[in-house]
Structure 1
Amino acid sequence: MFKRICIYILGIFILGLGLVLNSKTGLGVSPIISVPFACSQMSSLSFGRCTSIAYIVLVIIQLLVYRKITLSVLLQIPFSYLFGLLIDFYNALLPISHPSFIVAFFILLLAIFCTALGAFLMVNMELIVNPGDGYVNAFAKVTGKPFGKVKLITDCIMITITLVLSLSLAGHIYGLGLGTILAAMLTGTTISVLDHFLGRQLAVIVLRSKKG
């Protein structure tokens, strides 16, 4: 269990780094954080605080979809708060501002890899689910649709919400661009590659933890 928890925490730190790097490129953020990023740009709230609020909303959505209160879902609330603090920590730590397109593109690729690796480690340790994945999984279970198809639909909804909020409140678009498209296309593919090479080893760690 100790090894399992360490890998899970490592995944959280890598995921947070990936999301912040993505936001620093100026090329557009991944769909799941596009709404909190846009809100942070249009208000006095930090990116991390907006992320925490958005994640808690996703937790509430899960409770409504499942129509019951479970500990596994409720634990996502403190996770959301702590993850928001991590986002703000990375945001202050990384002094990246207006990089050239070439530099931004390479940072984007690194961000996508970190996001995929962090999510992969967290999901495979089967502990507290990231609310961004949890609400997608809730809709997938209730509707009986594949996770990937539901993920595509929810990403499109997030992008639409970001567009509406940005244009109605600020008059121009925040957080959407080439990076949004590449993140949507490459994150899942990268996770599949990681699962092919590392999935079995992580499954063994979880299995031994449960037996112990």
Structure 2
Amino acid sequence: MVLLAMGITMNSLTGLGASAIVSVPFTVSEATGLSFGDLTLIVYILFVGAEFVIMGKKSSWTYLLQIPLSIVFTRIMNLIKAVLPYESGNLPVDLLVLVIAIILTGVGAAMTVDMALIPNPGDGIVASISARSGRELGLCKNILDLCCVCCSLIIGAVMGNPLMGVGLGTFISMIGVGRVIAVFNALARTGLRRMAGLETAEQKA
């Protein structure tokens, strides 16, 4: 979870646009000056509601546990943003930080979902879409990211600048995070779940 928070926050600090999944609250934050973490919390609560709609009768009350988790998670994001001394402006360095951010985000998201713990709502909604559609988790992540970026462009356009919270880094992360999840799961998911006893438990069930 900390890796995920670091990845999302570092992405926003590059000056190349926020990570796609949080591009909507980042765009609103840039336009209004409101807290990025607080706006992200609002979006995460909406994601939890969407999970109930997507899963229908297969929904679980445990989805609601994502809300207190989101409160802690977004406070960690605010803390990381406050303590990281990074200043954007050097494109090669910004791109390097972006790559690190994408890797951290993808690995953090994959590990959280794979361990069957309470997920971050951004990952929980992806897992719900994947479970309902039968599609691979990384692909569902790419699709949701695309939807978020489109919403950010629309919100930015209404506020006078379509690219207010969207940049090169947003589009790179939109593709990159989903692919990192897919590669990580292909290489490590089975082994991690076996080490955690999750594969054995599922087989016995």
**What is the TM-score with the length of structure 1 in the denominator?**
0.84
How far is 1:171 from its partner? Answer: 3.2
Letter in 2 for 1:95: P
| Cα deviation code 1:148-200 (max 9, x no counterpart) | 44433322221111011111124342221221222122223323333344333
User: Residues of 2 paired with 1:151 and 1:40: CA distance?
Assistant: 23
1:184 corresponds, among 159, 168, 174, to: 174
Aligned to 1:129: 119
Aligned to 1:6: none
How far is 1:113 from its partner? Answer: 1.1
Gaps of 5+ in 1: 1-11
Aligned to 1:111: 101
| Pairing 1:8-157 to 2, within 5 Å after superposition | 12-67=1-56, 70-157=60-147
SS in 2 for 1:67: helix
| Cα deviation code 1:97-153 (max 9, x no counterpart) | 233101101110111111112112212211112211222333344445554444333
How far is 1:20 from its partner? Answer: 0.7
Change (3 A) 1:191 1:140: closer
Letter in 2 for 1:93: V
Aligned to 2:157: 167
**What is the TM-score with the length of structure 2 in the denominator?**
0.86
Change (3 A) 1:141 1:117: closer
SS in 1 for 2:196: helix
Gaps of 5+ in 2: none
SS in 1 for 2:26: helix
Change (3 A) 1:148 1:30: same
Please tell me whether the aligned partners of residues 194 and 200 of structure 2 are also in contact (alpha carbons under 8 angstroms): no
SS in 1 for 2:4: helix
